[in-house]
Structures are given as structure tokens and as C-alpha cells.
């Protein structure tokens, strides 16, 4: 049973990492890209770490993977906040859906 759960967690983690990579390429401006990279990327790594915690043979591996998971979930919003704050302070262009967005996106 644990085998099936671990396989599902690994595959879904890889799926979310792929979604994050696609989002960072396809999103129109930097604020949307921070969305994709932070949330989907952290979720992908977190699911793979959870799979490792489920099937770890020793308690040390389980504890360490949970610690990495907590650390990455604590630091991802802080890094995203710093990047978004600097982008807003430096007046990076924002995506306006009504106007033509092709100029910013490519």
C-alpha cells in the first residue's frame, strides 16, 4: 500500500514541478511568474520529500526530509515576497489584460 502511495506522490510531485516550469515560461509578467514558481515549485519538491519520508528505512531520513520540507515551505513565501517587493519598487511593467499583452510576454 505504501508503495502505491509513494509512487503517486513522486509522480504528482514531478507533475507539479513541470507545471511550475511551464508556468514560468508561459506567464505574461513577473508577478504571475512568481505565483507559478513559488507555489507549484514548492509543492512539487514537498510531495517528493513526503514520498521519501513515507518509505524511509531509518528515522533519521524521515526527520531530515520533514525538516527540509518545513524549511522550503517557510522560505518560499519570504523569497517570493522579497522579489515581488523589489519588482514593484523598481516599477517593472505589469500585465494589463485589456491592452495587448504580447509586448511584455515575449
Are 17 and 42 spatial neighbours (Cβ–Cβ below 8 Å)? no
Cell of 98: 485589456
Q: Fill in the per-residue mask, 9 to 48: x = in contact with other proteins (CB under 8 A), - = not in contact.
A: -xx-xx--xx-xxx-xx----x--xx--xx--xx-xx--x
Minimum gap (Å) between residue 88 Cβ and other proteins: 10
- Position of cell 521519501? 52
Q: For binding to other proteins (CB under 8 A), which residues are involved?
A: 2-3, 6-7, 10-11, 13-14, 17-18, 20-22, 24-25, 30, 33-34, 37-38, 41-42, 44-45, 48-49, 52, 55-58, 60-61, 64-65, 67-68, 71-72, 75, 78-79, 82-83, 85-87, 89-90, 92, 104
Amino acid at each position: 500500500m505504501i508503495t502505491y502511495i509513494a509512487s503517486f506522490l513522486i509522480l504528482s510531485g514531478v507533475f507539479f514541478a513541470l507545471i511550475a516550469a511551464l508556468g514560468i515560461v508561459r506567464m505574461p509578467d513577473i508577478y504571475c511568474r512568481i505565483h507559478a514558481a513559488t507555489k507549484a515549485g514548492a509543492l512539487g519538491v514537498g510531495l517528493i520529500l513526503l514520498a521519501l519520508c513515507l518509505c524511509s528505512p531509518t528515522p533519521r531520513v524521515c526527520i531530515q526530509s520533514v525538516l527540509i520540507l518545513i524549511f522550503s515551505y517557510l522560505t518560499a513565501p519570504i523569497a517570493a515576497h522579497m522579489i515581488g517587493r523589489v519588482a514593484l519598487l523598481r516599477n517593472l511593467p505589469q500585465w494589463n489584460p485589456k491592452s495587448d499583452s504580447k509586448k511584455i510576454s515575449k
